[in-house]
């Protein structure tokens, strides 16, 4: 968001999952004061950057499906690597830029 508004001041913050670009745009419209709307391209760009950042953070988050290990730890643990691979196989890999990419995650983990 700071890319769009460098003098942005956070007054209040809340987070909720957004399933796609349309939902993100609708949510932004409900939260933002009246003013210039983001174009679809801008909203997609913001979501893409959010997803890329989230993927990097996810690699170091404790994941219950991995018995509390982080994906990095599971990738390096022969007893948990298969669990991680199965988890990543459950992610949609349709090239949607507003979803986590199992392909990028596998590459980041060297799988």
Q: What is the pTM of this model?
A: 0.59
DSSP string computed for the chain: -TTT-TT------------SHHHHHHHHHHHSPSSPPPPHHHHHHHHHHHHHHHHHHHTTS--GGGTT--HHHHHH-TTTHHHHHHHHHTS--S--TTS--HHHHHHHHT-
Task: Give the pLDDT of residue 76.
Answer: 94
Task: Give the pLDDT of residue 9.
Answer: 74
Task: Give the pLDDT of residue 2.
Answer: 63
Task: Give the pLDDT of residue 110.
Answer: 92
Task: Give the pLDDT of residue 45.
Answer: 80
Q: What is the pLDDT along the chain (111 residues), one digit of tens a residue?
A: 666 666 767 777 777 777 777 777 777 666 655 556 667 777 778 888 888 899 999 999 999 999 899 999 999 999 999 999 999 999 888 877 778 889 999 999 999
């Amino acid at each position: 968001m700071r890319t769009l508004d460098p003098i942005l001041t956070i007054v209040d913050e809340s987070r909720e999952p957004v399933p796609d670009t349309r939902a993100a745009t609708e949510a932004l419209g409900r939260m933002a004061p009246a003013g210039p709307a983001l174009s679809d391209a801008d909203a997609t760009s913001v979501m893409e950057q959010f997803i890329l950042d989230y993927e990097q953070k996810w690699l170091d988050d404790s994941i219950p499906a991995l018995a509390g290990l982080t994906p990095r730890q599971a990738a390096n643990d022969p007893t948990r690597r298969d669990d991680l691979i199965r988890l990543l196989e459950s992610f949609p890999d349709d090239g949607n830029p507003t979803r986590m990419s199992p392909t990028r995650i596998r590459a980041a983990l060297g799988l």
